[in-house]
Each structure stands twice: as structure tokens, then as C-alpha cells.
A and B are shown apart, each in its own frame.
Chain A
Amino acid sequence: MAAVGRSHATRWAVVNVVVVLYALFPVWWIVALSFKDPSTLTDGSYIPTDWTWENYKGIFRTSEFTRALINSIGIALIATVIAVLLGTMAAYAVARLRFPGKQVLIGMSLLIAMFPPISLVSPLFNIERSIGIFDTWPGLIIPYMTFSLPLAIYTLSAFFREIPWDLEKAAKVDGATPAQAFRMVIVPLAAPGVFTTAILVFIFCWNDFLFAISLTSTESARTVPAAIAFFTGSSQFQQPTGSIAAAAVVITVPIIIFVLLFQRRIVAGLTSGAVKG
């Protein structure tokens, strides 16, 4: 019996290791590249022979990267805050209130979740140029928050449905003012869902590439994914491989941190909306 148990465990251990390797090996490759110095870049080895920070120092010396990093962080954060705010309002209504038109809202979010962004690129390009927000932060924030709204609304309304709203009434019976009931009962209950949604929306905005290359033309609003696609080597004869690898690692770090810290929440967020919403 014990032997059966052990072979069972071994089998699962092997499966788990395979899954972890599957997930990590392209990530490791870009990390390895980012630490190789130019002379060993082409040795094809999976572990750098001479570790160097030179690629990282290099990208932080140019505004091409630092400016893009600031753009990425600022644009993704602002878009996340607005999308979560609007999403919270709509999701509260969807989860808690009865009103005609709820199905229209849900259907509309569904349509937008399925919308091909390329279809919007040409009209938005023209519209943004004519109203003067092409190549600015708002020019990217607006499409990002729009495309993440469906995600925010679905995830939040799934969370809000799970909240025991009767507690609010109970608190009022116990003598709490409506404001106190909201602040001390509802906010702590709703906060985890809002926070989880914010992470998902942030990852979504952080990831975008198509809008970032289409709706920007200079450093002033270009985000990191777009910027690294335009990286050129520091000299004409140098490939930008090391710089691209280092920049890629830098923008992967926040994602890894989120995933490590909030794995349980992210899984809950991604699956809750999918089952019944």
C-alpha cells in the first residue's frame, strides 16, 4: 500500500516538474540572454558563462527605455484605476440592483470582450490625430480602459455576488450609520475582489502591444513593449539583443511579483467570472 502511494506520489512529482519547466524555460532563456556580455551572446549556452549587468546599465542610460518604462507604469496604472472605478459601479448595479437594460450592459461588455482591436486601430488613429491626443498618455489610456472594462465588470460582479450583503443591514440594526456600515462592513468585504480585478486589469494593460505601436509615434507615450520592438543597437553594427533581453526582463519582474504574491487571488479572479459570473 505504501509502495503504491509512493509511486503515485513520484508520478505526480514528475508531472509537476514537467509543468513547471514548461512554464519557465522561455522565461529563463530571456533572463540568461540579458546577463550575457556581447562576446558570449552567441554561444547558445543556456547558462551565461560570464555574468554581467552591462545590458541593464545600458538600457537605463538611455531615455528610450526609461521614458518608456515611466509611460508603461503611468498609463497602465491610470487606466487600471479608471477601469476598476467604472467597473465597480457597473458591477455593483449588475450584482445588486434590478433595472431594465442590465442584459444590454452584459451583452455589450461581451461584444467588447470579443472585439478585434485591429478593427479600431485605423479609426482611432484618425480620430486621435484630429482631436490631438495621438501619441499622448490619454490616447492609450482611453482604449486600454475600454478594453479592460468587460474584464473588470465580469470579475467584479462575480465577486460582489458572493458578498453577504445582509451584514450591512445587520450593522445598521446594531446602530451603525450608513456610512459606517459601508466603511466598516462592505469595504473590507469588497476590497479583495476589487484588488484582484485591479491586478488582472493591470496585467492586461501592461501587456498591450498593438495599440502601443499604432497610437504612438515618439518616445512621449510609447510603452515598453512597443519601445523594445524599435530598439536599435548602440552602434550600427551591434544587434540590440542584449538590450531587448534586459528590457524584457525588467517588465517581466512586476508580473512575476504579482503572480508570486497573489497566485490564489488571480486564479480565483480568472475562474470566478468564467463559471457563472
Chain B
Amino acid sequence: MSTMAEPAKDEAQDTKALSAGARQERRLGWLLCAPAVIVMLAVTAYPICYAVYLSLQRYDLRFPDRAEFTGLSNYGAVLTSPFWWDAFWVTLFLTVVSVAIELVLGMGLALVMHRTLFARGTVRTAVLIPYGIVTVVAAFSWQYAWTPELGYLAGLLPSGEAPLTEQWPALWLIILAEVWKTTPFMALLLLAGLALVPEETLRAAMVDGATPWQRFTKVMLPLMKPAILVALLFRTLDAFRIFDNIYVLTAGAHGTGSLSILGYDNLFTALNLGIGSAISVLIFLCVGIIAFTFVKLFGAAAPGAEVKR
């Protein structure tokens, strides 16, 4: 990450002539961070290394004694398998489409929350409900809504249609569920960016005769760019690991399985720890590539502290 490469200048100077106070401050700083660092390393860094190790073995949970080192053959098996590529394209499609819709809707929602003349509290409260609700709960609500004979939305369709059992309708319904749930989060991140746009600049643009659309595209958007990039980066990575909605809505059937679903199935249905781990590592690499692209190409999230989920 670019954030780690940045040396902190004043800290480097400190090391030359450390007063007793500064040394104490350093020690306290390390001491306070140590537990968090140890936990994070122990629960993520160590297991991911272990996953790499597992992925180099033939390891079937039904025959744990027959584990043997097989080099990169699991990766070869995964990357030449149509299952991986189908899941990969499905995941990519879901990610790109849902994040694009969320960005547009989220911007609209942020403007509403920012500008509305009254009931601002009510609007914000309502918007927080999709954010806070358990994804599985929302997913069940959508699933029942689209189930023929049970749901109010399925009732609107011509009879005999079961949209969750066909690939394309199901993919769009997954996107709908995902967009409903996460647009508020996107909107809140964008709202933070909107708050940074100075009112005077907008008024000045208005006096200069800029139309509302021009004010939005020429003044607000450029000023909000950092907030937009952070929101996009985080939503993209989050959408890429989509699991809950698909698990409940279609269980990955009918060509709707994402990479996370594929990894889960290989581990818990096929009980193949070697292949499952190879998939885990590959997903990790995909996420790394996406993050790297965002940071390098768009200069997103330059200071590490800009970011949270």
C-alpha cells in the first residue's frame, strides 16, 4: 500500500536526538498499538500464509491422511476450470453494475440528505435502516417477495414466471438486493464529501451564471473527488466479496454463483481444502489487484487514514 511506503518525516528526525519524553511517548505508542497489531496479524496474516501452504497440497477433508504436496497443480486446476471463470465473470458483472448504480443513486440520496428542507432527521433515520439491517434478513425478504405464490412482487409478473430460477433475471434481482442494502452506505460516504464543498463557492458559481447542472459537474464533483474515490474503492471491494445475498436468493444455482460462493462450496460441499484454499488465495490476489489499480490509477485513498468501512 502506498500508505505504508510514506515515511513520516518528523518521526525520522526524532530518532536522531530523542529526549526522554519522546522516547517515553514512543514506547507508549507502541504499547498501546501492540494488542491491536498482534490480533490483526494473528488472525489474518498467519491464516493467509497457511492458506497459501494448504493450496499447494492435495488435501481432501474426507481423506486427511492422504494429504501430499503437489506444487501449483491446484492453481492450474482452478484456473483452467470453467467454474472459476464463470464465477469470476458473474462476480465482476455484479460488482461493476451494482457499484455503478449505487454511485448514481447514492449521489442522489446524499444530495437529498444534504439539501432537504425538512424532515432531515427522518430521512437519515430511514436511510440507516437498510445499512443496519442484517443482510440475510433483507435477502430473505427479497427472496419471498419474488417467490411465485408467496410474494407481492412475483404477483406482478405474468404467472408461471419464477425470476430467481433463471440466470439473468436472478442476477438483476441480486443486484437489486445489493443496491438496496448498500446505497445508503455509499450515500453517507458521499454526504461527508458534500459537507466539504464550501457554500460560498457554490454561491459564487451561481452568481457567475452557472446552471445547477454546471454547478454540480464543474464545482461539486471535482471537490468531492477524494470522497467519491474512497467510497468507490470500498464499495467495489465489498461488492467483489458478495456472498450473503446470493446464498439466500439463489444459493449460487442457475449460473449466479460468485467467487465467494465457489470458494465456500469447494470447502463445505466438495470438502476439498486444497482447491478451496487455492480459490481463497486467488480471490485475495484479485482484491489486491483491484485495490492497487484504484490507488495507482486514480490516486484513491492516498492518506491511509481516509478510509474505513
Contact = CB atoms under 8 A, between A and B. Distances in A.
Interface of A: 8-9, 12-13, 15-16, 19-20, 22-24, 26-27, 29-30, 33, 41-42, 44-46, 86-87, 89-90, 92-94, 97-127, 142-143, 145-146, 149-151, 153-155, 157, 203-204, 206-207, 209-210, 213-214, 224-225, 228-229, 241, 244-245, 248, 251-252, 255-256, 258-260, 263-264, 266-267, 270-277
B204 interface: no
Given A30-B141, A89-B32, 13 more contacts: A8-B117, A23-B126, A44-B152, A90-B33, A99-B25, A106-B3, A119-B263, A122-B51, A149-B40, A214-B268, A229-B247, A263-B128, A276-B303
Contact of A118 (B3, B28, B192, B260): B260
A224 B135 CA distance: 12
A97 B25 contact: yes
B36 A87 contact: yes
Contacts of B84: none
28 contacts: A19-B109, A19-B126, A20-B123, A20-B126, A26-B138, A89-B32, A89-B33, A97-B29, A105-B36, A107-B1, A108-B41, A110-B307, A113-B308, A120-B48, A121-B263, A124-B47, A126-B54, A150-B308, A155-B308, A210-B260, A213-B247, A241-B144, A260-B125, A263-B121, A266-B128, A267-B124, A271-B195, A273-B307
A193 B140 CA distance: 33
Contacts of B247: 209, 213, 229
B307 A116 contact: no
A134 to B, nearest CB: 13
B306 A276 contact: yes
A275 B196 contact: yes
A210 B264 contact: yes
A270 B152 contact: no
Interface string B1-29: 10110111011101100000010011011
Interface residues of B, number: 112
Contacts of B44: 111-112, 115, 120, 146
Contact of B51 (A26, A123, A266, A272): A123
A110 B40 contact: no
Given A122-B267, A123-B50, A209-B243, A16 B123 contact: yes
A41 B141 CA distance: 13
Interface stretch (B95-103, B161-169, B207-215, B276-284): B276-284
Contacts of B191: 267, 271
A252 B141 CA distance: 12
